[in-house]
Structure 1
Amino acid sequence: MRVFVTGASGWIGSAVVPELLAAGHEVSGLARSDTSAAALEDRGVAVIRGDLDDLDSLRRGARKAEAVVHLANKHDWGNPAESVRAERAAVETLTSELEGSGRRLLLASGVAFRVDGRAPTEDEPNPARGPQAPRGGTESLAMEFVDRGVHSVALRFAPTVHGPGDHGFIAAIVEVARRTGVAAYPGDGDNRWSAVHRLDAAGLVALALDASPAGSAVHAVAEEGVTTRDIAEAVGARLGLPTRSVAPDDVADHFGWIGGFFAMDLSAGSDPTRARLGWTPTHPTLLEDIAAGAYDGAYDGA
């Protein structure tokens, strides 16, 4: 297929692109800088210059493609409302361009919060709806277009897509430990985060492109739940720092913006995804990556 990828040079996208090329797809990618464009061209990817605010570039990419894999996101934690606005506008643009064509739209989403005290499954709808919801409610928006001729598939990634070079949530937690001199966890540390290695997630995206039915969701989750205490202890062991609890009322002050996320339980399973797509994660676990030094580099912002 001709596949247009947004975020093609990003953390997940740069691993997805080789998987798509190896599967025989013809790939085009959105690039907002000369550096990103050159990196994509070196891999044999056709470059479409633009970004999430350049909606015409999204239309151009989608118009020529048989499938769109939407992975880009601003991730502006200093201005989350702007990230939500941009994501909503981007998906509105892509669904409008694909409407009535039967073409595929795979879009990045996240595992949902716990439902009635249990981890959500792939078969449950994402509760985030509307323009002001997390990610602009774009998963629900895309699913509304299934009946309007768009083959929408939700890619629900674990809160940590880890690996050497990761600059996301775990990198932010490691940086807090360096700055404060303690590897901390919220409360009793029993809340859990699901996790997946970047390369395992990339392989799943390629499988989902070929085999996921319209209106479905896949869970890019290799580990259902790693406790925040275990994460903190692994960080402390790697950095040579003590580990301790932070009282719930002090989480925001200690951790900053990442504290609200670190205090959530974001566990999730992936048994249906594995069974339906034949996906078997094989790369290191989150704690193995931390112990091996995947987060030893300087943090440059999520």
Structure 2
Amino acid sequence: MRVFVAGATGVIGRRLLPLLTSRGHEVVGLARSYGAAVEVEMLGAVVAEADALDSDALSRVVKDAAPDAVVHLLTAIPAKINPRRMSRDFAQTNRLRTEGTRNLLYAAEQAGAKRVITEGLACIYEPNKWVPATEIAPLWRDPPRQFAPVLAALRSLEERTRQADGLVLRLGQLYGHGTIYGPSGSFVRQVQAGKMPIVGSGDGTFSFTHVHDAAAAITAALDSHVHGVLNVVDDEPAPVREWLPILAQLLDAPPPKHVPAALGRLTVGGWGVAFMTQLRGADNTLARRTLDWAPRYSSWRQGLAAELAHATHS
């Protein structure tokens, strides 16, 4: 299969391109800069140079690539996110999920691609700390102000993917090399410095996804005929009050402090507090059943331990 990957040099793309080529796929990776083009070639793919926000240029390179499938992994998420300024920090990613998605899916249609897979998020469900969300659970009706533009962009991405008869993979909190939970990631550094407390109840429930498992799910989805949305997460959703102390232990870092939600709001804002207290975990049963896929790391416990085995206290 000939596969066009937009977002080829992101944390998932760097895992995906070699995996696809090892399975015998012909891969074309989108690159916007010379450095990205070099990296795409090093990852074993053919380079297509264009800006995803330039509709005409993108249409030309997708048409030239003549792909059977198009994979949309376009983001521009900063290495460190300020939860009080999330709408600012995600502004470019929101554009890529709205304008970029429109441009890419139009280009895919014009080029005759038969399969479209896009990257969504699994942390968008209406809060409910008791029951992990399946794909039919309602999305967050009244999200915190800083998260509202992010959710609106994701809704747009999902709607356009549905219109293209494609598949959205709702990923959990990504961890592994190059992510905020990687050995040199911003979240890990904050934990090492004792600057990541448990806010309020710590009931915010995270579903994690290792970057390899995300890439493996995309690879499996290319060979399937599944459409709609799937949660691609591990098997063990866990509240912050459970996983954050374990992460600190893995890093030989100070145990996280507990701070009241009101105090947390002053430092991390409404979204930061919601992130720590309201997020809902996701259920991966449908992805396991409909794709030839299972997470390499069924639990964040094993995955984080493997990733952080050589991290040291700084």
Gaps of 5+ in 1: none
In structure 1, distance between residues paired with 2:76 and 2:195: 30
In structure 2, distance between residues paired with 1:262 and 1:40: 36
1:240 to 241, 247, 253: 253
Normalised by the size of structure 2, how large is the TM-score? 0.79
**Matches of residues 70-149 of structure 1 in structure 2 within 5 Å?**
70-75=72-77, 77=86, 78-99=88-109, 101=112, 103-115=114-126, 117=128, 118-123=131-136, 133-135=152-154, 137-143=156-162, 145=163
In structure 2, distance between residues paired with 1:125 and 1:224: 21
Q: How far has the Cα of 1:71 moved from its partner?
A: 0.3
Residue 6 of structure 1 corresponds to which residue in structure 2? 6
In structure 2, distance between residues paired with 1:157 and 1:17: 18
Residue 32 of structure 1 corresponds to which residue in structure 2? 32
**Matches of residues 108-257 of structure 1 in structure 2 within 5 Å?**
108-115=119-126, 117=128, 118-123=131-136, 133-135=152-154, 137-143=156-162, 145=163, 150-158=164-172, 160-167=173-180, 171-179=185-193, 181-214=194-227, 216-237=228-249, 238-255=251-268
Cα 1:109–1:27 change in 2 (3 A) is same
In structure 1, distance between residues paired with 2:276 and 2:52: 27
Cα 1:73–1:233 change in 2 (3 A) is same
In structure 2, distance between residues paired with 1:172 and 1:3: 32
Cα 1:163–1:291 change in 2 (3 A) is same
Higher mean displacement: 276-285 or 25-34: 276-285
Cα 1:164–1:92 change in 2 (3 A) is closer
Q: How far has the Cα of 1:87 moved from its partner?
A: 2.0
Q: How far has the Cα of 1:296 moved from its partner?
A: 3.7
Gaps of 5+ in 2: 79-85, 142-147
| Identity within the alignment, % | 27
**Matches of residues 45-64 of structure 1 in structure 2 within 5 Å?**
45-63=45-63, 64=66
Give secondary structure in 2 for the equivalent of 1:40.
helix
Cα 1:106–1:191 change in 2 (3 A) is same
| 1:204 alignment partner AA | A
Q: How far has the Cα of 1:46 moved from its partner?
A: 0.8
| 1:195 alignment partner AA | F
C-alpha contact 2:125 2:140 (8 A) present in aligned 1: no
In structure 1, distance between residues paired with 2:40 and 2:127: 44
Residue 15, structure 1, aligned to residue 25, structure 2: no
In structure 1, distance between residues paired with 2:30 and 2:98: 17
C-alpha contact 1:183 1:233 (8 A) present in aligned 2: no
In structure 2, distance between residues paired with 1:131 and 1:112: 11
Aligned residues: 291
In structure 2, distance between residues paired with 1:295 and 1:109: 30
Cα 1:264–1:86 change in 2 (3 A) is same
Q: How far has the Cα of 1:11 moved from its partner?
A: 0.3
C-alpha contact 2:21 2:27 (8 A) present in aligned 1: yes
In structure 1, distance between residues paired with 2:265 and 2:274: 7
C-alpha contact 1:4 1:27 (8 A) present in aligned 2: yes
Higher mean displacement: 245-254 or 201-210: 245-254
Normalised by the size of structure 1, how large is the TM-score? 0.82
